[in-house]
Structure 1
């Protein structure tokens, strides 16, 4: 098994999948590295992916009506974010920044 598969097994979202199913998940995973300060996606953009954090921290925020940033929470290693695009209207409900 590849290193991604070993990592995927530890993510609660995938905890109940068998090795064949995990292998299918591994086939569609793209590993990306982002520099600090990089915007991964903006609020209201069309959702294209679900993300999980291998290392580092992601800030999730929304913009208030007067243009200020409101930080909702931080995503840490081992956590998944943007999974809402699988269930909602297909847009990101907040901004994600490294």
Structure 2
């Protein structure tokens, strides 16, 4: 789904962009919705995408040496995650 520039203005980093810059960025951004507990990415996936949480919640987890899931980040709306997977 295409990104509405008004969504980008809710992200603190993008709030400083002017209308033209926001429109250009919006044309390059895709809005995705994910189901509860749906995996967005996993270790080893190509690190070619970054995500910004617009609404809802997300947990970034890893598996420790005891094979237990460990939460390493819980971004809040407006925050980035997933730079390096």
| Unaligned residue ranges in structure 1 (runs of 5+) | 86-90, 93-98
CA distance in structure 1 between the partners assigned to 2:50 and 2:73 by the alignment: 17
Could you tell me which residue of structure 2 aligns to residue 34 of structure 1? 34
Deviation of 1:10 after TM superposition, in Å, equals 2.0
Could you tell me which residue of structure 2 aligns to residue 23 of structure 1? 23
Q: TM-score, normalised by structure 2?
A: 0.82
**Alignment partner of 1:71: what SS?**
strand
Could you tell me which residue of structure 1 aligns to residue 79 of structure 2? 79
CA distance in structure 1 between the partners assigned to 2:45 and 2:66 by the alignment: 20
